Chains A and B, each alone.
Chain A
Amino acid sequence: MATFFRLVAAERLKLSKSYIWVLALLSPLLSLAIGILLSPDSIGVSSVQEKYMLLASSMASFHAMLFLPILTGILSAFVCRYEHVGGGWKQLLTLPVSRNHLYFAKFSIVAAVLALSQLLFLAAVYAAAAYHGFASDLPWSTLLTGVGSGWLACLPLAALQLLVSVSWSSFAAPLVINVMLTIPNMLIVNSEHIGPFYPWAQPMLAMLSFSVQDSGAFALPLENILITVLGSFALFLAAGLLYFNRKEI
């Protein structure tokens, strides 16, 4: 395990000096703008619970439908890009590290930046609620579970994007694939048949299931989401590890 943490420390250094993590700020800031511009009173929503639902679902739809899956792809591609460009794979793998540890270290860094983005989103929801004057009435446990499961739902995407990014030395190709698979979210989240099984839709489904507390239009039971998320995560991660261990450097 010691070598794993050393690898993570090295990855942290490489990523922090690249300023790509600044992207993690972008979506929470835009979500904050959306949250502040909403005026619940003009729509005729009066109860605190309804105000929260409106606020959280508006902010989460933007953040989780497009931005979160795309950020996942960008981060995965980026942690591989600086290895592809400078011949870093070769150097890293002649150091005494196992390929599994290296793969998990890259994955952990992606997951950590995604977690940072989720925490900032949480802060944005709080700030928007404070602006509208009901910050003290936020249903914290619901909100935290939504943000947390949104993060979990990104992990299968991170595992898949890491696999694609490791195998392709191109930076753009994995991103294009990711965006192409993310755009259909707008339609798929509304589909009862495909929605529950489409990995790219899970972050949004997970986050919305908690903003809309009663089972509304596209709120799914948590169990469904977990099955899709865990299943695709196991599949993508296993494929990535298998591929990376056999790859000739």
Chain B
Amino acid sequence: MKEWIIETKGLSKRYKGRYAVSNLNLKIEKGDIYGFLGPNGAGKTTTIRMLLGLIKPSNGSVHIFGQPLNKDKLSILRRIGSLVEYPSYYGHLSATDNLEAIRRILGAPVARIAEVLDIVGLSKEARRPVKGFSLGMKQRLGIASALLGNPELLLLDEPTNGLDPSGILEIRELIKQMPKQHGITVLISSHLLSEVELTAGTVGIIRQGELVFQDTIAHLHQQAQGSMSLVVSEPEQALAILRSHGAQAAQSGSALLLENTGDHTIARIVKSLVEHNHAIYRVEEKRKSLEELFLQIVGEGKLS
């Protein structure tokens, strides 16, 4: 039996008769990085706000660390670090004082402030008022605030918004280390698959408030498996040979396309073609990219 850090059952939020989130069953495993994907306005932030108790669900339940959120909210929140939508800050305070204001509430040790500033690379800017910070720096400060209380679960809503490419890379590396080094479970939302593709172990895809895909990223890769393309000297005769092996093949120019063919069949086909003295110029696998698959899921709400 797996240990679910977050489990929602039938979670829904209705605004004026319209469901912003409907019947969501999230399952997030301990120590996993969960990529929560969906286009803008799909209900990602609404879901995260419900997970944090900022808004009350219209229907359904949320269990975090196995405890019901509506009963044990404060003890659950003590173990969560979060960044919702855009970073929160007090412009008239320095980065250190921003963190101090949160530290006083959490009762964390003073030394932790310097630690988290160092983690997000803001140590040099610590004394400046935050109103002069760029969006990327505010974002880093937001991540530092989320880490301040040594959380067991991080909920990060579009954490790389406004960061430059090297910043995105840094944050990605940082997030990758969380489960390994500290055993932290991470939920990270994004509207780009490429953002979480390299970090997440599991992805959930939400579309118009409904969860349309939830599985491991490896499984998503399998779904993205594409077709084989053979470029040969005499395509017409070769096509006949392919069909005699029972392969689903089609000709396009000098190339032959085979859908979802296993390794053994490919080997047999190639061997047979060589035996019939066909010259084989290319054997290529044409993969659908994950991004294409993601767009397809988001567009149609299902896998083909």
Contacts and interface: CB of A to CB of B under 8 A. Distances in A.
Interface of A: 2-3, 6-7, 9-10, 13-14, 17-18, 82, 85-88, 90-98, 248-249
Contact of B101 (A10, A90, A96): A10
A249 B46 CA distance: 10
Interface string B165-200: 000000000000000000000000000000000000
A6 B107 contact: yes
A6 B78 CA distance: 14
A13 B55 contact: no
Given A3-B105, A82-B91, A96-B74, A87 B86 contact: yes
Contacts of B84: 90-91, 94
Nearest to B93: A17
Nearest to B54: A249
A91 B88 contact: yes
Contacts of A249: 49, 54-55
B29 interface: no
A106 B97 CA distance: 18
25 contacts: A6-B105, A7-B104, A9-B104, A10-B101, A13-B104, A14-B90, A14-B93, A14-B101, A85-B91, A86-B90, A87-B85, A90-B84, A90-B85, A90-B88, A91-B88, A91-B102, A94-B53, A94-B77, A94-B82, A95-B102, A95-B105, A95-B106, A95-B149, A96-B77, A248-B54
A219 to B, nearest CB: 43
Contacts of B102: 10, 91, 95
A87 B89 contact: yes
B87 to A, nearest CB: 7
Majority-rule SS of A interface residues: helix
B68 to A, nearest CB: 16
B292 to A, nearest CB: 35
Interface bin, chain B: 20 to 34
Contacts of A13: 93, 97, 100-101, 104
Nearest to A82: B90
B52 interface: yes
A86 B55 contact: no
Contacts of B105: 3, 6-7, 10, 92, 95-97
A118 to B, nearest CB: 26
Contact of A98 (B74, B88, B107, B145): B74
B46 to A, nearest CB: 10
Contacts of A10: 101-102, 104-105
Given A10-B105, A91-B88, A94-B52, 16 more contacts: A6-B104, A10-B101, A13-B93, A85-B91, A86-B91, A87-B86, A87-B89, A90-B85, A91-B102, A93-B53, A94-B82, A95-B77, A95-B106, A98-B74, A248-B54, A249-B54
